[in-house]
Chains A and B, each alone.
Chain A
Amino acid sequence: MLNKREQFTGWLLLFPALFILGLVFIYPIARAFWLSWFAENLGTQLEPVFTGLGNYQRMLGDGRFWQSLWNTSVFTMASVTLELLLGLGIALVLNKTFFGRGVVRTIAIIPWALPTAVMGLAWAWIFNDQYGVVNDILIRLGLLDTGINWLGTPTLAMVALIVADVWKTTPFISIILLAGLQSISEDLYEAHKMDGASPWQSFWQITLPLLMPQILIALLFRFAQSFGVFDLVQVMTGGGPAGSTETVSIYIYSTVMRYLDFGYGAALVVVTFLLLILAVAIISVMLKRVRA
């Protein structure tokens, strides 16, 4: 049992950390919540005017918001699923001992270490309709007669974004999964083998269940990150063509920066924030169950 004095010292020591957390997390979020009750835009000469739930009401009838939410979901689901599958494959390979494994592991991280804006520009060039490598390869293989306008066609632009994101963040997932794989004892596999299990069976019965916590953690990180994707989209398509790759964060950016609609922008931030918290909560509950 701590006595009062010790408790006080404890709080005193915690105070700087709590203060900084409050400053960088709680204040901006609370401010966004507060602002979302007001109309503060060009129509009100940038002065805040109380509207209650007005901003949220407007969101219900805002087709662009729903489309951007849909785009974000498609992007997140597709990229996270692909990254998980590829990342698991890469992790399994890197977990085996082979000549030059150290070098290969290092090389495998490079895409993740590159700044997103830089690699986004590179991918924009790769998918360029006139000079892009992708079109060049497809034409040389005889699969195409003329280049496809990847970034100018709604569905294909989304495909291009997903490919770029998968390339960039698969290494991140494979590193987390690799750490998990290395904590699984070889003995388990040996015992399982002696009981007559095939490698396929031991993958399903040992590797996957024991790797579950790492998979969920990777999912958590990636989900939160890709739901808020901004830089990659901004550099590669800017949300175009015709809003088909506009994600929620791009929409929020235009609402605040281009339209100077601060109140509505705050409402968008709040809703996205709540959705994200919900998704993270679901994954956390799953994680707790797996661990228990």
Chain B
Amino acid sequence: MFIFRCLTKLKKIGSRLLKAKRLLAIFLVSLAIQFAILPAWTQQPVIIKTLIRADEAQQLQPLVKEFNQQHPDIKFQILEAPSDSNQVEDLYTSSFLLGNSPYDVVYMDIVWTPKFAAAGWLRDLSDRLSPEEAEKYLEGDIAGGMYQDRLYRLPFRSDAGMLYYRQDLLDKAGYEPPETFGELLEISQDLQQQGLADWGYVWQGKQYEGLAAMFVEILQGSGGFWVEPDTLEVGLDRPAAIKAVEFLRTAIASKISPPGVTTYAEEETRRLFQNGRAVFLRNWPYVYSLALDSPIAGKYNIKPMVHAVGETSGATLGGWGLGIAKSSKHPDAAWEVIKFLSSEDSQRKFILETGFVPSRIDLFNDPKIIAKYDYYPKLLEVVQSSALRPPIPQYAQASDILQRYLSAAITGSMTPEQAMKTAANETRNLLKR
């Protein structure tokens, strides 16, 4: 009896197992359908990736969402990078050097373009952008995306250096805004003597990329040049360049600029100006909207940088743009993304949200944008007097050389002639090969 009962139990278990097996089989088949067979039938969206500083990646999210809704066959993804743009450059660089880069779209600072293009990491965009379309962008921004007459970067947002001045103080003392270096020094000194402001002119004098960017403006305003991109001629030891350094030296020596200016980056100078302690400031457009919320609100104005008598103003161009990685397997989908982001509509939305500077000329006079930022037409005037940092592949190295010796000159550890001569020689050595 006992044995029989055991046997029937075993049978039951056996049939249950069989049933379980059948269930398992059904489960496996459905899994296979879901993950292996169905995807082959339905078209998978192409994934397009890019790497952008985390704060800006956040600001771009609404556009990413909109793009993905409009393009079901493409999935655009932004990977968030550290907020230091040098580190972003390093991340892109190492991914391209090692090969098999995960990035399809490259979001580039203007000064990286020649380097990335010369290294062969970018696709030529020249044939994708019609000349009529190219004309809608700021000329300097397009020029900044060129390398050896081919386009590698489509500008997304622009940036340019300019002179901020205190309209109220100038009015009080009866001055017009300065046009030349001499006028700037003269007005500064007079206002300082009258006790209207502690300092005349504040600018970025710390040894970093901002110093080189600032100097390009002074250099252009003095009629000098840094490196001629076509002939690779170096102009740093010419009289015009030395005069440019002397202007900065004079500003410090005659107490028009605070002695600490040689350690200031953008933010330090912005705070001095915003707290009403300086008459003139050299800075980027971002200061304008921030200063609206400060003690000097409504008392300041902007204009193109001052220059030497008989020369013209220069505004160092900055800004970011988009390119396609050579290693990308989906260049056409990547171009769709770039076209969408740099379209007038996308740029307008982004600028209304963030207050950045557009790269499309029409947007500076766009009614919706003017309604929010009434100074943009004036900004256009500044941005159009643009000066480029030399668009050469070795820019990073050349800039480090200039920063080093310019810093030595303005802190007084070398004379302007000595410093510029050494900088010029090292730059020539660099470019010789």
Contact = CB atoms under 8 A, between A and B. Distances in A.
Interface of A: 39, 41-46, 49, 51, 54, 58, 61-64, 152, 241-243, 254, 257-261
B37 interface: no
Those 5 A-B pairs whose CB atoms lie nearest each other, nearest first: A42-B393, A242-B207, A39-B433, A259-B397, A42-B118
Contact of A63 (B115, B426, B431): B426
Contacts of B207: 241-243
Given A43-B394, A43-B431, A62 B426 contact: yes
A61 B90 contact: no
B93 A260 contact: yes
A61 B428 CA distance: 11
B397 A261 contact: yes
Nearest to A255: B397
A43 B89 contact: no
Given A61-B429, A258-B89, A258-B93, A42 B120 contact: no
Contact of B115 (A152, A243, A260): A260
Interface string B403-414: 010010000000
A259 B395 CA distance: 8
A239 to B, nearest CB: 11
Given A42-B393, A43-B394, A61-B426, 9 more contacts: A42-B115, A45-B119, A64-B400, A152-B263, A243-B207, A258-B86, A259-B396, A259-B397, A260-B119
Contacts of A44: 433
A51 B407 CA distance: 32
Interface centre among A62, A63, A257 (most CB of B within 10 A): A63
Contacts of A46: 118-120
A51 B400 CA distance: 24
B90 A257 contact: yes
Contacts of A42: 115, 118-119, 393-394
A261 B429 CA distance: 13
A90 B190 CA distance: 64
Contact of A243 (B89, B394, B404): B404
B93 to A, nearest CB: 6
A35 to B, nearest CB: 14
18 contacts: A42-B115, A45-B119, A46-B118, A49-B433, A51-B433, A58-B429, A61-B426, A62-B426, A63-B404, A242-B207, A242-B407, A257-B90, A258-B397, A259-B396, A260-B97, A260-B115, A260-B119, A261-B394
B15 interface: no
A163 B396 CA distance: 32
A257 B86 CA distance: 11
Contacts of B89: 258
A61 B425 contact: yes
A51 B433 CA distance: 9
Interface of B: 86, 89-90, 93-94, 97, 115, 118-120, 206-207, 263, 393-394, 396-397, 400-401, 404, 407, 422, 425-426, 429-431, 433
Nearest to B400: A64
A183 to B, nearest CB: 47
Contacts of A243: 207, 404
Contacts of B422: 63
B383 to A, nearest CB: 28
Contacts of B404: 63-64, 242-243
A62 B425 CA distance: 10
Contact of A43 (B93, B400, B425, B433): B433
A192 B282 CA distance: 75
Nearest to B86: A258
Contact of B433 (A41, A64, A258): A41
A45 B93 contact: no
Interface centre among A51, A260, A261 (most CB of B within 10 A): A260
A238 to B, nearest CB: 9
A260 B115 CA distance: 9
A276 B253 CA distance: 44
Nearest to B425: A61
A258 B94 contact: no
A47 to B, nearest CB: 10
A43 B426 contact: no
Given A43-B431, A43-B433, A61-B426, A258 B90 contact: yes
B433 A54 contact: yes
A51 to B, nearest CB: 7
Contacts of A43: 393-394, 431, 433
B363 to A, nearest CB: 34
A181 B195 CA distance: 71
Given A43-B394, A61-B426, A243-B207, A257 B94 contact: yes
Contacts of A260: 93, 97, 115, 119
B281 to A, nearest CB: 22
A257 B97 CA distance: 9
A259 B394 contact: yes
Contacts of B393: 42-43
B51 to A, nearest CB: 16
A258 B422 CA distance: 22
Contacts of A54: 433
Nearest to B428: A61
A61 B396 CA distance: 18
A167 B433 CA distance: 44
A210 B426 CA distance: 51
A244 B396 CA distance: 18
Contacts of A61: 425-426, 429
Contacts of A259: 394, 396-397
Contacts of B263: 152
A61 B94 CA distance: 29
A197 to B, nearest CB: 54
Contacts of B97: 260
A51 B429 CA distance: 13
Contacts of B93: 257-258, 260
B257 to A, nearest CB: 18
A49 B397 CA distance: 19
B394 to A, nearest CB: 5
